[in-house]
Amino acid sequence: MGKAGQALKQVLESYGISQNRVAVTMGIRRSNVNRWVNEMADPAADAVLEIRDALEKIDPDAAEEFIRLYLGRSTQ
């Protein structure tokens, strides 16, 4: 399964953000976020952007880290 779920899981753990908070911010069910984090499903491309937007509202650094991990870019 996907890189987006792995990136999201790492960011949520690193920044202490709950799956529920992301879900509420995105206006979706927590079960959707849970499926992504546990790699049972991959978010669609538009959902990846919505994840980024939600994280941006919660913690801009977390959003930046999510994209960095998702794209596989090193920090510089």
Taking the C-alpha atoms of residue 32 and residue 29, their distance in angstroms, rounded to an integer, is 6
In the prediction, which pLDDT does 2 show? Answer: 77
In the prediction, which pLDDT does 73 show? Answer: 63
Q: Give the tens place of pLDDT for each residue, 54-68.
A: 999 999 999 999 999
User: Which domains are seen in the chain, by residue range?
Assistant: 3-71 (1.10.260)
Taking the C-alpha atoms of residue 34 and residue 73, their distance in angstroms, rounded to an integer, is 25
In the prediction, which pLDDT does 31 show? Answer: 97
Q: How confident is the model at residue 1 (pLDDT cuts 50, 70, 90)?
A: low
Average pLDDT over residues 47-55: 97
Cβ count within 10 A of residue 27: 8
Taking the C-alpha atoms of residue 28 and residue 72, their distance in angstroms, rounded to an integer, is 26
- The HSE-up count of residue 14 (CA atoms within 13 Å, CB side) is 15
pLDDT greater than 60 at residue 74: no
